[in-house]
Amino acid sequence: MSEWLFLLLPVAAVSGWWVAKRGDGGQGVPGPTSDPAFFRGLNYLLDEQPDKAIDIFVKLAEVNDETAEVHLALGSLFRRRGEVDRAIRIHQNLVSRPNLSKEERGYALFELGQDYMRAGLFDRAERMFRELMEMQLHRKRALEGLREIYQQEKDWARCLEVAEQLWLLTGESVGAESAQYHCELAEESLKAGNGQQAATHLSRAQAMDSDCIRATMLQARMAMSRGDSRATVALYHRLARQGSQFQPEILSELVDTYRRSGLEDELSELKRLYRAYPSPALAMTLTDVILDREGNEAAIAFLIEHITGQADLAGLERLLELYGPKLTDDAQTRAAFDATLAVVGHLRSRQPDHQCEHCGFVARRLHWQCPSCKYWGSIKPIQPEPIGNRAPAPPTAALPEPH
Ligand SMILES: [Zn+2]
């Protein structure tokens, strides 16, 4: 479906309003919906010929300057074609008309708000959406517009207010995004050195969304920085349980905690964690520890087991590197092996790290809000594909709850 079709929604709504107005005793009122040219314009939109539609609406607007719906359609078309200044002029003229009905004014304010958003004039867009809220018109779309503005401005406290209003208005869950706003506020508090306030925001995040991985991750980092090893390990286990694919984000810090604290045996603890929540990042870390403690053969055996059934290129590359010294000195064997390792290394370096589950956007690093579709929490580390019919291994060990 073309984006032009979306334009028909407000146009159709205005047309419906016009028909209803005529049916309510407005018979005989001349308007564009009685003009066949208006429907020709709509047909051009359906046929994805916006330029022809614009020509028709411009002529209609010249013939009858009072018709709001033609100006609304024209303004939207200009904005979608990137001519935001023209769209703003048309919608500003509409809004300034004293004889505009409440409904027409509502549509014009919303369109003008959209124009200002597109032009990056957020303060003006905010005024349009606030006025719509006061008029009790298009409240859901006005709140969504306000939410977008406050997200752009990183005004997380206001994002929380708008999310609550959206929830009251629509009944749709806003827990996951509200939890993210609290996490943003927690990060700001941490930067300002206010750990207590950060902890309060993280508790609120978890009250909003008990599966909020980001809140657990921040709590683990806070526990690490205050040297509370026991809480760090427990929070890491909770993180692995909530989303094992997120382990790479704080894995190296966890290993440091093991090493510094001496609380647990690093090797047996990592093995236990891997059995319960296997992930490629954990396999790489565990390989290094096995290599250090148990030697080359044990590390190779572990990696063979790890990549059996899953196309983990990083695991394969590491296996080949460890296996290299075991090869014979036969020149052709060595050449074939080096070529294989080079191909695997090339493929792995081109492999994306993270992907949005909602829109497919590929990223090199973890973003909590997708830069493309603006969804929260939808970007996740990419996991290797299973080979054959092997399903991902289920957790095999019960892990303790965090304190
Ligand atoms: Zn996305």
Ligand 1 midpoint to CA 369 (Å): 8
Residues with CB under 5 A from ligand 1 (ion): 356, 358-359, 361, 370, 372-373
Q: What is the mean pLDDT of the chain?
A: 84
Ligand 1 midpoint to CA 352 (Å): 15
Ligand 1 midpoint to CA 219 (Å): 26
Ligand 1 midpoint to CA 381 (Å): 13
pLDDT per position as a tens digit, 275-313: 988 888 899 999 999 999 999 999 999 999 999 989 999
Work out the average pLDDT over 258-271: 81
Ligand 1 midpoint to CA 245 (Å): 18
Ligand 1 midpoint to CA 379 (Å): 7
pLDDT per position as a tens digit, 135-188: 999 999 999 999 999 999 999 999 999 999 999 999 999 999 999 999 999 999
Ligand 1 midpoint to CA 355 (Å): 8
Please report the pLDDT score of residue 265 as a whole number: 80
8 Å CB contact between 50 and 80: yes
| Of residues 32 and 89, more confidently modeled | 89
Please report the pLDDT score of residue 402 as a whole number: 41
pLDDT per position as a tens digit, 213-241: 999 999 999 998 888 888 988 998 899 88
Ligand 1 midpoint to CA 113 (Å): 24
Residue 324 has pLDDT above 70, yes or no: yes
| Of residues 27 and 66, more confidently modeled | 66
Ligand 1 midpoint to CA 67 (Å): 39
For residues 365 and 371, what is the distance between their CA atoms, to the nearest angstrom? 11
Q: Residue 392: which pLDDT band, with cuts at 50, 70 and 90?
A: low
Ligand 1 midpoint to CA 42 (Å): 31
